[in-house]
Structure 1
């Protein structure tokens, strides 16, 4: 059975499938308020070149702030950083990125179960990035006045609720509801076919005879629908024109309407049916 046959079954069993689809939509709409959201916060900072940017004691000065920002973005959300967040009691769900490949700006996005935890996690990430940048330069014994440093651009503002979990549950509910609708429609169709076969078997009908009977029943249903449409059209026509709906009354109404619509001939014109002029039948004006 292909997709179109399944669709026909679903449409044919609309008495059951329509309520199920409506129920699925209602459940999907009512789900988000019942699921607690997560909260998102973000920070951004820029890598600043020191005043003493020609000091040979710091070999990182030759790389430039863009490269240092890329280094922070590459290791800021590594496994070690996530483990440190867990040990610090903040959310381990965060990402660190470079704003673009030519920018010295580093951004971080965090998610947590509460707004307070989201802010605490953002502050932890900012501190961790600052310490990581300093540790890289301390490892080569670079003097403090010749070290890159981070300057905050935006701090953790008011966290925003995120309903990603609710959206996933909503889509899952819609999928399960639609699948259940199809299964129920196919089950009802299968039961109906099984009953029809048992009934036909009780009357001694063969497989070919059952197919012909099904075709006849389908044609009869189409004829009934045709009669219904014609009847509806007649009623609409009667409503607009005032014509009766029964056949004898319609015939009488047409004759009376025709007799009132025959145009009078001008005087001197010959009657095509048997001679004579219009003057012989026209009434004289008073």
Structure 2
């Protein structure tokens, strides 16, 4: 069966195809209705260098690499378990992601959460925490003047929010749709084959008799065509035996257990069972 035969059968059984597809669509909608939306928020921040860099102490951010060192320091600090635990204690999302891009000198923070407000507050708090950590680190090295400290500043007023996303919903619907299409075509082809088989059986089927008919019946194997030359069970009956005619007539043999009785006109004779019949009178 090639593709064109399948297409023709599907068109012929269109009602089966559409019914199964409709069931598949309903199943996909019901199954994926429980997928919860997810909201993403992201924020970029820059490392702001101080206007005055004179007399920087040893071990300060300025002497350790400046902006690049400050960005890498906060990337490692915000990615640590201690920072995530602190975010979690605030009721925010500890699953945020933080990365420092050396080429752009940008500290990026992003997170996905069940509500847009929770996602927004999480990224804003991570950026604020990074700034507090950087200020505390510089204070520990002896740089306490605000004008001499590096700081973390967000690139925009607030976080960038993305529209609601439904993770996995599209993939589930596609899988259910493909299965529904395959099932619809398969059922249409199966129904078409079943109907065709029933029609062939109704058109050409014949019943087989359970038992042989009685001797003398037109369907009986003991009913033989007249053959005066070769059939021992058929003997001619001349017109002299039967008043009013000269045309030969023939009688059918009646068989019992032991003998074969042949009625020929007005004469009745008996003889042994012919070799081509068994004791019940059936052909061997």
TM-score normalised according to structure 2 size: 0.53
Where do 5+ consecutive residues of structure 1 fail to align?
A: 205-286
2:35 matches 1:39: no
Match of 2:103 in 1: 102
* CA shift in 2, pair 1:14/1:199, >3 Å: closer
Please say if residues 21 and 178 of structure 1, whose CA atoms lie closer than 8 Å, have aligned partners that are also in contact: no
* CA shift in 2, pair 1:177/1:78, >3 Å: farther
Relative to its length, the structure with more helix (as a share) is 1
Q: How many residues align?
A: 201
Larger Rg belongs to: 2
Please say if residues 123 and 159 of structure 2, whose CA atoms lie closer than 8 Å, have aligned partners that are also in contact: no
2:176 matches 1:189: no
Please say if residues 44 and 153 of structure 1, whose CA atoms lie closer than 8 Å, have aligned partners that are also in contact: yes
Match of 2:249 in 1: none
Q: What is the CA deviation profile of residues 11-42 of structure 1, one whole-angstrom value per residue up to 9, with x for unaligned ones?
A: 66444334655776688799999866333333
* CA shift in 2, pair 1:136/1:103, >3 Å: farther
Alignment of 1:116-265 (within 5 A): 116-137=117-138, 141-145=141-145, 146-157=148-159, 159-165=161-167, 168-194=168-194, 196-197=196-197, 200=200, 203=204
* Deviation, structure 1 residue 89: 0.6
* CA shift in 2, pair 1:34/1:182, >3 Å: same
Please say if residues 46 and 151 of structure 1, whose CA atoms lie closer than 8 Å, have aligned partners that are also in contact: yes
Structure 2: how far apart are the matches of 1:54 and 1:8?
87
* Deviation, structure 1 residue 65: 0.8
Structure 1: how far apart are the matches of 2:2 and 2:126?
54
* CA shift in 2, pair 1:37/1:65, >3 Å: same
Structure 2: how far apart are the matches of 1:114 and 1:2?
52
Structure 2: how far apart are the matches of 1:53 and 1:158?
37
Q: What is the CA deviation profile of residues 54-86 of structure 1, one whole-angstrom value per residue up to 9, with x for unaligned ones?
A: 524225423231243244335534544433322
Where do 5+ consecutive residues of structure 2 fail to align?
A: 206-284
* Deviation, structure 1 residue 5: 8.2
Please say if residues 20 and 177 of structure 1, whose CA atoms lie closer than 8 Å, have aligned partners that are also in contact: no
* CA shift in 2, pair 1:196/1:25, >3 Å: closer
* Deviation, structure 1 residue 53: 5.8
Please say if residues 109 and 122 of structure 1, whose CA atoms lie closer than 8 Å, have aligned partners that are also in contact: yes
Match of 2:17 in 1: 17
| 1:90 partner SS | coil
- RMSD of aligned C-alpha atoms? 4.1
| 1:42 partner SS | strand
2:91 matches 1:89: yes
With a CA cutoff of 8 Å and minimum separation of 6, indicate the structure with the bigger relative contact order.
1
* Deviation, structure 1 residue 157: 4.7
